[in-house]
Chain A
Amino acid sequence: MKSLINLSIAILLLCAGLYFVADQLEASGGKGSKDTITIYNWGDYIDPDLLKQFTEETGIKVIYETFDSNEAMLTKIQQGGTTYDIAIPSEYTIEMMIEEDLLHPIDHSKIPNLQYIDPYYLDLPFDPKNKYSIPYFWGTVGIVFNPNLIPDHITFESWNDLWDPSLKRKVFLVDGAREVMGMGLNSIGESLNAKDEKLLRQVTDKLVTLSPNIKGIIGDEIIPLMINNEAAVALTWSGSAADMMSENEELDYAVPQEGSNLWFDNFVIPKTAKNIDGAHAFINFMLDPEVAAQNAEYVGYSTPNKAALDIMDPEIVNDERFYPPEEIKDRLEVYENLGLEWLGKYNEYFLEFKMSIR
């Protein structure tokens, strides 16, 4: 009988222990003190040497954690208990975080280096007057392709080139509802933020006719697979494209004429931050032209820092595929926060498209 009681107690203790661990896990992330800052960023999205340089210059230690999706980051910050001083979400997530009152306003007087940012990237609809966020990187969604593996007449000036019968089973798509549905909407000349069931229906029907050309709908594996020429064509973000092209020189990148997505990742300071001054110091440090230039060359995405462009390798800066001129940029659209209901609908239609691939 005694061992039975012990066993029962053990189970109850286990439950309490699990609850405690879950609580700790949610609260982990960040120590929160004056001489450290905690940064929450995408994986491989900063030059690690710069973190060391920042600590040398300011004496502030950096704790660095990474996430792999806006949604995962948002969930963790929403739960509370975290003390991240800096996070780097994308624009539609920033909009959501502002709505939910999760962000600390940014004091522009503490960030003198803001003057180096191209005004084109400031005061955007998702965060008017940059009250809560400061630009970090930007990029586009487009098509990476290997010209040697496809017929000459396919140039990807139009999204509709993806539907060409010569591309049978040669196309990878990135596994994202907004990217793929957005591509479909763009291909019929509509906005990639459309909230119209009829349009989404029409786009899904059109996407279904693309299915013979699809080789796979995958995530980050797309980078090594394209480097190995496993497929000829891939729909992906400009930064992944830059990664692929630095390893496989045959590849090229194009943003079709009908328009595409223009995205931004910005610095924000969550409400729960403990070292507000340190966070400002870090943002200011990262906007320094030399630092921004070094970071942009390491990461491969496009920097919004005008002064940094002047000191970067001209070959990178003049590459119109990654730094498109303004008339092309004007055709690009920024994702709006659709709200969970419409995000759900985009996902349902995307699922229907995925089901059609055989």
Chain B
Amino acid sequence: MRDRVAKGPLIPYLLWIAFFVIAPIALIVYYSMLDLNGNFTLENYKRFFSPVYIQMTLTSFFYAVIITFFTLLISYPMAFILTKTKHKYLWLMFIIIPSWINLLLKTYAFIGIFGLYGPINAVVSVFGIESQQILFTDFSFIFVSVYIFIPFMIIPIFNSLDKLNPTLVDAARDLGASPFTTFRRVIWPLTIEGVKSGIQVTFIPALSLFMITRLIAGNQVITLGTAIEQQFLVAQNWGMGSTIAVFLVLIMLVSMLFTGRKAKGGRV
């Protein structure tokens, strides 16, 4: 009897997982072992370990880490300030609203803003500085990506900061902790879960960004996402495209392990 009660509610959940998580991943793994003619092969995996793809994986990873780092650097203080304001939910909404606008529209706007004859260079030239090349640089790529991910990072951090019991901070200060110590020993450990969720929702999509790499970085940055798009749409090599996707899934799993929730408690 107890078993049935325990397992019954799981059925819809298991069905969902089977159809929308396990089946698609199984299909990707299946396709990754096919060559152009649909025969079984491990050639795609061999090719993935060639210098070109290894280098691409490392650069993707590198850019995703940088993007996540800057997004966190901006989002944490911002979320902290937000929780201290009077109308905090209103302010939060103002920050979230831009994420309702289509990603491509925002990206196209940046092409105009960053252009040689765009508003930024117009301001710069007032100070007698020559027009700067902003578009199609590492800077523009990271800037636009960070801008896009900030709302996704802020929400979980805001929530965990909002739930933080202010009496704990007061207690720390009363017991003589400096503001920095209070932050390091009290606030940070208690909001780490929010930070981890924020990192997950930033880092994983950042690995597979693809339109921005062409529109803002002019294909000077090639991510795994771009390579998958090319393999499917241009080379029509679904096998190789799926193989890259398999590795993308693996990297995501590893990053989930690192940012996953550990048992409560621990060191304080």
Contact = CB atoms under 8 A, between A and B. Distances in A.
Contact of B236 (A11, A221, A228, A340): A340
Interface string B207-232: 00000001101111010000100110
* B12, B111, B227, B230: residue with the most chain A Cβ atoms closer than 10 Å: B12
B44 to A, nearest CB: 11
B222 A354 contact: yes
Interface string A216-235: 11110100010011100000
Contacts of A4: 8-9, 11-12
Contact of A341 (B36, B52, B115, B218): B36
A12 B222 contact: no
Interface in A310-358: 340-341, 343-344, 347-348, 351-352, 354-355, 357-358
B12 A355 contact: no
A252 interface: no
B149 interface: no
A218 B219 contact: yes
Interface in B118-152: 133, 135-136
Contacts of A354: 219, 222
A175 interface: yes
A71 interface: yes
B52 A216 contact: no
B214 A175 contact: yes
B236 to A, nearest CB: 6
A216 B237 contact: no
A340 to B, nearest CB: 5
A33 interface: no
B103 interface: no
B233 A230 contact: no
A355 B56 contact: yes
Contact of B52 (A1, A75, A218, A351): A351
B29 interface: no
**Interface SS of chain A:** helix
Interface in B68-105: none
B36 A217 contact: no
A1 B8 contact: yes
A214 B117 CA distance: 19
B203 to A, nearest CB: 22
Contacts of B115: 225, 228, 230
A126 to B, nearest CB: 19
A354 B65 CA distance: 21
A202 interface: no
Interface residues of B, number: 35
B233 A216 contact: no
A21 B139 CA distance: 42
Interface in A1-41: 1, 4, 7-8, 10-12, 15
A344 B43 CA distance: 13
Contact of B214 (A1, A69, A215, A219): A219
Contacts of B16: 11
A307 interface: no
> Which range contains the number of A residues in contact with the other chain?
35 or more
A4 B222 CA distance: 45
A169 interface: yes
Nearest to B108: A221
A229 B121 CA distance: 14
A12 to B, nearest CB: 7
B19 interface: yes
B117 A11 contact: no
A97 interface: no
Contacts of A347: 230-231, 234-235, 237
A229 B237 CA distance: 36
B116 interface: yes
B8 A355 contact: no
Contact of A340 (B19, B36, B217): B36
B159 interface: no
Interface in A119-138: none
B117 A228 contact: yes
Contact of B222 (A169, A215, A355): A355
Nearest to A7: B12
B233 A72 contact: yes
Nearest to B13: A7
Contact of B36 (A72, A218, A221, A344): A344
Contacts of A357: 219-220
A341 B41 CA distance: 15
11 contacts: A4-B9, A4-B11, A11-B19, A72-B233, A215-B133, A218-B214, A218-B218, A228-B116, A230-B115, A344-B235, A355-B55
Given A11-B12, A215-B133, A343-B235, 15 more contacts: A7-B12, A11-B16, A216-B217, A217-B218, A218-B214, A218-B215, A218-B219, A225-B115, A228-B115, A340-B235, A340-B236, A341-B36, A347-B235, A355-B56, A357-B219
Q: Which 3 A-B pairs have the closest CB atoms?
A: A216-B218, A217-B219, A7-B12
